[in-house]
Structure 1
């Protein structure tokens, strides 16, 4: 065991020792898979005998069961009653969990459609639905302080429209920190909503794009966690800031055991769902003026801290890139990464 692994295990062990019953509560549920882990294969137009594209939740369920996953998180918008029942039957037969990914209503006229999606997702067995509140990454789609104010206002309106439906049907909605909210901003909105039915999908790595320390993010959001996007991250400097890349679990810089222990501490029944996105690294242009348009008076220490993290965790080799690969090669690497992560979750993280 090297020094880094020792420190990770020690940090996690402190929390688990204080709560000895927590690992047992989730020990039997293997890590699930978020549909975005199959970004290359989901609705793929590539003809591949080895990696045929998934076109429905049923195909994703079947495949994830075959590779040993405990469940899936998948888009549930627009399902029919019959399809929801079919998903329920298959899910129950396979003994897997289901979490939905859903759009929230933008205006009152959207509420009936939202309610139908909630009803069908619940019929299929989903008790937790994940959502996002912005159209994209904050630093790419919002270009002024007022734009962020408007996004917050619209998000609050959407969640206020959704809340009575969630309460009526006893389904929980989990808002992801989707490179849009910094953790204290998301907590402030949840406190304003003050609903037991609205919490967080806690993504372990996204908020690095907003210069947040990943462990601090988990500490801040774990009290509200309903579901998770588990991932590991690697970083690399570039001229305008840094590159950010999902990498197989255990190959990045995140303290995964401690993060998982914190989530279990606050929600013993939380599931752990893998979001291993196989793609080129994302550019985080934190040294360009436009990046800062929505961040107000963020202390310079936030930027300094993230740049220090980037420099302290230089990768031994360049971050993985998929753009030079053929379509078949991308599919192969994607599957290899997911299988590696599932094996790591069982062998090193005691999930499943």
Structure 2
């Protein structure tokens, strides 16, 4: 099996592709994988660290400003030319795209060359690249059933879940809590603003911690995002004993498996992780994303009773205090955990892998 993977810009597009890549390498002896992304995106750092071969192409996100249209088109054309060369050299049997502007040149070149394309959509509201290219794809793998109406009828959609869920579901909770030295009666709350951090969440969390409102027998692991870490560390000096501060967590699945509650944005990867584990959450969708997709992601969980949704404009220290007092009761956590677990698809990586196998048998 020789596969090109592409998707990038944010962790939401990258982590599902990497989870699938690791699953393919387990299932297919001698599989050859190549990840194509941009030098400016997070993928240029994360993918090589994961041990997956990586090649960068020129590409940038589209802009609604006419003054930016020329550079975007020029870079897209350069990226398309570079992809043609990559395809000639690597000779992929299929291409998997997980969305984001980085994937567009790769997918278009593959479709033009009649190479089978499989798309994976992480969000409830599909992104532009996946939506426009779905009619030309051999398969469109969805994380949510609710996404299906947004695609053309002729698109070959199938609900697989998000491959990241498979990796997280395999982590043992008891072992994770032992590694983090958590006592049985200690509740672990994780606060996390996504792969880049979130200014508003940091502002509220800093005020909340400084107010001394963290309940007893609760440990807070607070992930600031690398660009905010120094500022937050200075604001919280001296750091309360109940709080551990990190710029970024490489072993996020271990921490999530040990947790009792998550406070976070509602990116697609985060939702895949928490539903795989049955982890209750307070979700604060970012208002600064295309199509407001984080709101729709969070709504799916909130409507199922698996999370509390708080709009960013309503998120403040007092509201957070009330939510924690309400949710950190055992019966409340149990109800939310059960509802969350029902939404998880823990064999997602295998489902997407089987889609690839089927496409290769039929179209490869």
Tell me the TM-score normalised to structure 1 length. Answer: 0.33
> Higher relative CO (CA 8 A, sep ≥ 6), structure 1 or 2?
1
Tell me the TM-score normalised to structure 2 length. Answer: 0.32
Largest Rg, 1 or 2: 2
